[in-house]
Chain A
Amino acid sequence: DTQMTQSPSSLSASVGDSVTISCRASQAIYTSLAWYQQKPGKAPKLLLHGASRLESGVPSRFSGSGSGTEFTLTIISLQPEDFATYYCHQYYNTPIHTFGQGTKLEIK
């Protein structure tokens, strides 16, 4: 199975800052990567797919990049509602899907 490793596991930032979260795949997955946001007690929400394609309704301050084994999620001009946990998900080596372990973004 393809292992997904996110870094960092947690980070602190302030409103208005920009942050980058990394996700590394144990084998090449081309651009078959999605990012989700999850707030406490809530279901995950799709942010991007195809590594860089923004889901409809998601603010443009979210962006994604990468291909192969290295991917990043960038959030610019952090808003209070952006503090959450973020997960990457590979869907190249399906039907088995795998998620990263999550990155918790906290307010500094």
Chain B
Amino acid sequence: QVLLVESGGGVVQPGMSLRLSCEGSGFSFSNFGMQWVRQAPGKGLEWVAVISSDGRHKYYRDSVKGRFTISRDNNKNTLYLQMDSLRPEDAAVYYCAKDHDNSGYYWFDSWGQGTLVIVSS
């Protein structure tokens, strides 16, 4: 079955950087678009970024543009989110999710368990 395992979360000070990883298994990773979605404590789901199956197309929500970078290594079945210039409002559980399609333009049919990012001085 599909398994997505995130890692890399932790406590960082404002302005610092963090890189999240998401390793996929149980499916052909290189054939699917992948997403990052976050959820601040007690809040709803917020889409963050998407990457197409081949890594050529990437899109971000406005509030993270220029600070976050989504990437993937299909040889390692791993998705990444490089988060720079972190702000307190970036604190959340970050989920990776598998898209239904290679484009990343569809629904999210599998999710990881999430990794917690805390931004605090």
| A interface with B by C-beta (< 8 Å) | 34, 36, 38, 42-46, 49, 55, 87, 89, 91, 94-102
Contact = CB atoms under 8 A, between A and B. Distances in A.
A99 B104 CA distance: 15
Contacts of B45: 36, 38, 44, 87, 89, 99, 102
A94 B105 contact: yes
Label chain A's interface by main secondary structure.
Answer: loop
Given A43-B95, A45-B111, A87-B45, A96 B61 contact: yes
A100 B44 contact: yes
B24 interface: no
A84 to B, nearest CB: 13
6 contacts: A46-B108, A49-B107, A89-B45, A91-B105, A95-B50, A97-B50
B89 interface: no
